[in-house]
Every structure is written in C-alpha cells, then in structure tokens.
Amino acid sequence: MNIMTFLRVLSLAAASTVSAAAWGDQVPRSLADTLQQREQHLSSSTLDWQFTDEELHRPMMTPAQIQVARIAGEKSWEERSRKAGAKDENEIKSSAIANTEQAITVLQGGSLKYSNGWRFERDGASTLVTGTTKSLGGLATTQQQFYEGDLALGVSLFSRLADGTKVSGIDPAVWRTAGDSIRYPNPLTWNLDLAPEHFAMLVGLNPLTLYGAKWELLSTTANAWVIGAHLSVGNFPATFRVTLDRLHGGAPSDIKITKPRQSQEFHAEGFRLREGAWFPDKVHVVSHVADMLDTDQVWTLQSVIPSQPLHLTLKQPNPVHDYRLLGIGLSEKTIQSAEMGHHHDIVYYQWNGQFPSANDIAKLHQRQHPGEATPDPKSSASLPFVGGLLCLVGGVWMFKRRGVS
C-alpha cells in the first residue's frame, strides 16, 4: 500500500527529520543501465497478479464516536447510491449497512481480509492498472488507474455481483505530477492503493527513477546490489533500501521503507524467467503503523504476456474532475478542501479516451469559471484542510482499495 495513505487523512505521524548526508556511493553506470534495460524490456508487457491481504486494525474511536460515525456513514452511502441512480430501497439500505460496518471495523479495531485480482498493462509510455474486488453487501468493485506522461487518471465503479449491474461509483479524477506519473505517489486514497515501489517490484519499473530521488549504492556482493535514498513521501521523511538480485537480472528481491511510526517491507520469493525477464512467483508485503494497523499481503504472479495497444474507455459515466490547475504534488487534504469548498480551479469534462491538453484545460476553466483567473498548473497548491467526523468516515472509506469507498 502507500503505506496507509489513510494517514494523509488522519495526519497521525509525528514530524521528524532524516539526514540526507552522504551514506553511500554513486550508483555505477553499469547498474543504472541494467535496471533501465530491464524496464524497457518489460515496457510492453501485461502482468496479472492475485492479491490477498489481512489487516489487523487497532481501536481509533470511543463507542459513542463509533455510533455517530455509523449513522453518518450509512446516511452518506444511501445518498451516494441514490445520486448514482440506485432505486431499490432495500438494496440501498442493506448495502449502506454492510459497507458502513466494514468501515466501523477499521475504526473500532478488528481484522479484515481481502482477495483481489490485479492487471498491469504497459504500452510504452502508458500504463493501465485494473483491480477487481469482491466486497461486503454483495458488491464488486473495479478500480482503474491510467498513467501517461506526467498525468494520471483514477476511477472506481461499483456493481452488483449477481448480474453486474452498475450501482454507484466515484467520479473519475485527473492529477499532474512533477515527472512521469507512475513514478510518483497517488494522492487519491480511495483509488488503487499502490505506490511507486509496488511498480518497481511487480512490473519492473526502474527503482532509480522513483520519486525523482537521488539514489546511492550502499553495498555490493557477488549476489546483490543494495541501493538507498532519503526522501519525503506525503510530507513524511522516509528512508528506502532496495536489494537488487544480481543473479536474476537486477530484479528487486527486497525493499524496506521506514517513516516516523511506520515501516513496510517487500520480499520476493521463487524467481522465474517469464517473457525474457526474471520475476518472483510471490511477493510478501508486511506493513506496520504504530498504534493503528498491521497488514500482511501476498502477491502471486499469474501470468506475463505481451500487451495490446492501450485505450481507456470509462464505464463510469460521471464527468472527470481535473485537478491539474490545483498544482503538482497534490495531497489528499488539498483535494478534499477543493472539493468541499467547490474550488474554482477544478475543471470538469467527459472522458473521450485521452487527456485534454493544457490549452484545452485553460479554455474549459475560462468557460466554466468566467471571471476567474486561470492559475499556473506548475505551481504547488496549498489549501486549508476542511474536515470533521463525516470527512473522517469518508476518509476511512476512500482509503480502502477494495471498494469500501
């Protein structure tokens, strides 16, 4: 996960600093070339992974607060279902209760288990990720994220398991990053809780390109290189250590990330040559968030095949919320504040298969918000956070990648 992008909503981690003083040597050109060649070799591959997750949540609210959150959550779910076109009152009510209870489990403490299927499709500079989940209340969730250049789009769609009928969804959203979007964090906690390190481990992304960070060589043995970096992720200082297997083409075998009050470790098992590149049969991911959450994930590789040309057609009919005029390096707080405050720098349009140009966005902004100055999309946005108990419950929902949104 992003390690618990939920923390962006709750802001639980304490501030601290990590020294960026030299702690290793410059990465040799031969290693950089090896990693880049591996990524290029896989740049037109489709990978299917099966994913299971067990979460142990610790209590975060008192019983009285839980009851208020339960009422607010059910009301929010009912309103969202009606807005999306659902008409069967019994179905609306039962779905609201079932999904709210799953969020309450997070708030009051308890164990949750999930099983998902994930497909990663790469076609040169474009990547499409699709996750399908069975959730409580008889719903299936399909979440997608589309990366192209410095832009990304996320969308979530809910449907009934019995007949596949659409029930509701979350409006598609577009955001812009400081560089190639797949190499930077996802600000939308409700959509595909995957971080750049997942893509390095699961689809062959070059670790040296993640987060725009300066990576250093920490050690070299006959079997492995170890690289590391100090950087900031979601306003939290983080230390990354990545072990690259020299016997398997530089494929990552271990990734360890430490942040204030948090840690996450990836471990690969059973390397096998697939489509000319080494991949693990399984990847174990163990995460710890102090006083809140422990998770144990297992990713199992199903197949690696050549990709077909990518073209994203959205089944979610609602208009896209384009956030790129809010700036780059967006946080969940910035987006929530903009949406709750009906911010005039959000642009809306129907998806036609490609991202509108910057010029098109400027014209849409002028048409949708007459009299408002069009901001510089390259700036970094800073909006006050607007929140409350309902926002907290919404944050619990939206942080879940499995359709509890």
Query: How do residues 65-76 score in pLDDT, each as one tens digit?
Result: 767 777 777 777
Residue 136, in any domain of the structure: yes
Average pLDDT over residues 25-50: 92
Confidence tier at 392 by pLDDT (50, 70, 90): very low
In tens, the pLDDT along 208-249 reads 999 999 999 999 999 999 999 998 876 789 999 999 999 999
Range of the domain at 89: 38-204+279-405
CA dihedral 205, 209, 212, 218 (to 10 degrees): 120
- How many structural domains compose the chain? 1
Predicted pLDDT of residue 379: 58
Residue 9, in any domain of the structure: no
| CB contact set of 136 (below 8 Å; sequence gap of 6+) | 98, 99, 101, 102, 404
- The token duo for 276 is 């000319």
- DSSP letter string, 46-87: EEEEEEEEEEEEPP-S-HHHHHHHHHHHHHHHHHHHHHTT--
In tens, the pLDDT along 158-179 reads 766 556 566 667 789 999 999 9
Phi, psi torsion values for 242, nearest 5 degrees: -125, 125
Residue 222, in any domain of the structure: no
Can you tell me which residue has the tokens 């050690």? Answer: 219
Predicted pLDDT of residue 356: 94
Give yes or no for residue 20 having a pLDDT over 70. no
Confidence tier at 2 by pLDDT (50, 70, 90): very low
Residue 147, in any domain of the structure: yes
Phi, psi torsion values for 19, nearest 5 degrees: -70, 135
Predicted pLDDT of residue 10: 30
The gap from C-alpha 272 to its chain's centroid, in whole angstroms, comes to 27
Q: What is the mean pLDDT of the chain?
A: 78
Give yes or no for residue 152 having a pLDDT over 50. yes
Listed residue (374, 203, 177, 369) closest to 277, CA to CA? 203
Give yes or no for residue 393 having a pLDDT over 60. no
Residue 77, in any domain of the structure: yes
In tens, the pLDDT along 184-205 reads 988 886 656 789 999 999 999 9
Q: What whole-number distance in Å separates Cα of residue 207 and Cα of residue 244?
A: 9
pTM to 2 decimals? 0.76
In tens, the pLDDT along 81-133 reads 666 566 667 666 666 666 666 666 655 555 566 668 899 999 988 999 998 87
Residue 309, in any domain of the structure: yes
Q: What whole-number distance in Å separates Cα of residue 78 and Cα of residue 82?
A: 6
Predicted pLDDT of residue 297: 87
Q: What whole-number distance in Å separates Cα of residue 361 and Cα of residue 181?
A: 18
Element (H, E) at 29: helix 29-41
Predicted pLDDT of residue 4: 38
Give yes or no for residue 33 having a pLDDT over 60. yes
Q: E strands, 208-344, where? A: 216-220, 224-233, 236-245, 251-259, 262-274, 277-289, 293-306, 320-322
- The token duo for 321 is 């919320």
Average pLDDT over residues 265-284: 92
SS3 298: strand
Element (H, E) at 135: strand 126-135
Confidence tier at 295 by pLDDT (50, 70, 90): confident
Is the distance from CB of 193 to CB of 185 less than 8 angstroms?
no
Give yes or no for residue 63 having a pLDDT over 60. yes
